[in-house]
Amino acid sequence: MGDDITTTLVDDSEIDPGLRAAALDLCRATFGERFSDDDADHTCGGVRLLVYEAGLLVGHAAVVPRRIEVGDLVLRAGYVEGVAVLPEHQGRRVGTRLMRGVSAAIERDTFEIGVLSTGRHAFYERVGWQRWRGPSYVRYADGLRRTPDEDDGLLVLIPRASAAVDLTASITCEARPGDDW
């Protein structure tokens, strides 16, 4: 990466439609058909971190507020969505730059926990995230449903103020359209 790299944090309520479309195009270029309309909706309502190289948008991540239960605790979570780097820019530390910004945003906004779901554990662990070791659930109107397929994919960031979070307790999110986690 050259010296012409910039990272911008934008509140989603202040983002213009053209920039939102460019961010979603970047996600689609990264994930292809796996990035659904529901996935696009999941990136809305919080903040977006955008990485530019020579004026070109090359990286995107969103942090959106969600209610997450850990055991008997109800926590205000910064849930990470749409972490994407243009394929031709992958392996050039753009993702690391994004996740450092995500971590700072979670700390700054005083979230009690950061949460994300992924199959790429090593990358996120390198930037300070930890694997969740307890069982996962989704809360529906009619009660809890166990999500064992998600157990190995959940990672968390524990801000300094929430250091007592038990990584082996149950973790529960609210149901939503598309992927719950």
The band of 2, judged by pLDDT with boundaries at 50, 70 and 90, is low
Q: What is the pLDDT of residues 40-83, one digit of tens each?
A: 999 999 999 999 999 999 999 999 999 999 999 999 999 999 99
Q: Could you tell me how far CA 30 lies from the centroid of its own chain?
A: 15
Q: What is the pLDDT of residues 153-163, one digit of tens each?
A: 999 999 876 66
Mean residue pLDDT across the chain? 93
Q: What is the pLDDT of residues 102-156, one digit of tens each?
A: 999 998 877 999 999 998 899 999 999 999 999 999 999 999 999 999 999 999 9
Which residue type occupies 3?
D
CATH of the domain at 150: 3.40.630.30
Q: Give domain status of residue 156, yes or no.
A: yes
- Looking at per-residue pLDDT, the higher value among 169 and 91 belongs to 169
Neighbour-count burial of 71, counting CB atoms closer than 10 A to its CB (0-12 exposed, 13-18 middle, 19+ buried): middle
Count of domains observed in the chain: 1
Q: Give domain status of residue 179, yes or no.
A: no
Asked whether the beta carbons of 59 and 99 are under 8 A apart, the reply is no
Q: Give domain status of residue 58, yes or no.
A: yes
Torsion angle of alpha carbons 121, 84, 149, 127, nearest 10°?
20
Q: Give domain status of residue 181, yes or no.
A: no
Cβ neighbours of residue 91 closer than 8 Å, sequence gap 6 or more = none
Q: pTM for the whole thing?
A: 0.92
Q: Domain of 89?
A: 5-174
Q: Give domain status of residue 13, yes or no.
A: yes
